Amino acid sequence: MEMGCCGCFGFSFAKKQKKNISPRVEAGNHVLQGLLINHEAVEEEEEEDDDEVDYNSYCDNMTDNEKDHEEFVNPAKNSQEILVYRMENGLICREFPVKETYKVVRSEDDNGNKMVNEYRRECKIGSGSYGKVVLYRSQVDGKHYAIKAFHKSHLLKLRVAPSETAMTDVLREVLIMKMLNHPNIVNLIEVINDPNTDHFYMVLEYVEGKWVFEGAGPSSGVGENVTRRYLRDIVSGLIYLHSHNIVHGDIKPDNLLITATGTVKIADFSVSQVFEDENDMLRRSPGTPVFTAPECCLGKSYHGKTADTWAVGVTLYCMIFGKYPFLGDTLQDTYDKIVNDIAFLPEDMNPLLKNLIEGLLCKDPMQRLTLEAVASHAWVVGEDGPILEYLCWCRRNRLQRKESGGSQRDIISHIN
């Protein structure tokens, strides 16, 4: 199967430039260089060893990045503390936990192909700031997997905040993915972490399909019917995340994989955050500029969930029109457009779709459509009916506790 760029697998660094960027723009806004449409900091050269990374090219302005990263941390408890508590108390949304392996055996098969434990290397499929993504095939079940490979020593050297390193980011992403189990979210299969080696691997479900939206700026959208199907999957997955008090932080087409059967799966939890309760207040957003909500551009506190919802609206606009609703020549110009401009919508477009886009791209986060409202919106419903809430494992378990007469304290504890 053909597969597009694999930046979705999370090798992105939460970097936001403080100064204006002067990107090269061609054909309107269809090709833009810089960080306006992509927050990844590094594009690596192909190396002989596909698990090696050129980290020297990465460190160009760490001071600005440290400030942004620090401001994104939940002011109450940080995500790591919450995630560790949930893991230690079994508060995860999986019937069966992610496999954990503590021994790495690197070898070659009879044909000279590199092996990592049971997995045989086939080809590199992505790269980014922290490591690489390589396609492997399991010699046990014969399936393909996308494996993210890291070097722990390098992650520990990369400082992303005064008291945090890149290893903090990677471990947070792992902990988040260990909690999740949903048909519209890329699944983490196994974590390989040998304490006696420098290697660290995340074995992920391999999604062989194409992107919702390929390249920096497509010439046209994907049509209403396909967009509706994709949007239903996106909303279902994001409602699930928000119900577990997880803010994705970087919803955009590049982070939405499409399977061979046309199912959308949300990927890349590298800048995601977790909350103890419904208080999802954040400060600076480390996501991708053109998908940033107006309230995030003002440098004030904002709700992470409503910012995710705005990004869904921008993604919907991209899928319909094949371009970004707000894009300037510089970062500041882009933010000015996001805050002040109204997205262009043709007069002759489907009025229901127009109403949906206007509701999602509402500047006022308090008046913006909620994901629950989107799920029952007339355009989204179409002939398929409202998007039904996914009955996840922890919710099923909670309902079983109620039916079996579990104590109120047990029920509340399990919800949290």
CB neighbour list of residue 381: distance below 8 Å, 6 or more residues apart: none
Q: What is the mean pLDDT of each run of 10 residues along the chain (416 residues)?
A: 32 33 35 51 42 36 40 52 67 82 93 94 80 91 94 89 83 90 94 94 87 52 91 96 91 90 91 79 77 88 92 95 92 93 94 97 95 95 87 72 59 40
- Angle, helices 351-360/304-321, rounded to nearest 10 degrees: 140
What tokens appear for 395 in the block?
A: 């919710």
Quote the pTM value.
0.77
148 annotated as ligand-binding: yes
- pLDDT of 395 reads 73
64 is catalytic: no
7-205 is classed CATH 3.30.200.20: yes
- pLDDT of 159 reads 85
Place of tokens 């919803």: 251
Partners of residue 134 on adjacent β-strands: 124, 147
Q: How far apart are CA 245 and CA 259, in angstroms?
A: 26
405 burial class (0-12, 13-18, 19+ CB within 10 angstroms)? exposed
- pLDDT of 188 reads 96
26 burial class (0-12, 13-18, 19+ CB within 10 angstroms)? exposed
Inter-residue contact 316 to 231 (CB < 8 Å): yes
Inter-residue contact 267 to 255 (CB < 8 Å): yes
CA triplet 33, 51, 64: central angle to 5 degrees? 40
Give the strand pairing for 188-193 and 164-165: unpaired
- Angle, helices 304-321/224-243, rounded to nearest 10 degrees: 170
224-381 is classed CATH 1.10.510.10: yes
Please tell me which residue in 233, 250, 254, 268 is annotated as part of the active site. Answer: 250
- pLDDT of 219 reads 55
- pLDDT of 308 reads 95
Phi then psi for 88, rounded to 5 degrees?
A: -65, -25
The secondary structure of residue 397, as a DSSP letter, is H
- pLDDT of 299 reads 79
- pLDDT of 129 reads 61
What tokens appear for 297 in the block?
A: 């551009």
How do the domains of the chain map onto residue ranges?
A: 7-205, 224-381
| Residue in 280, 215, 259 with CA at minimum distance from that of residue 76 | 280
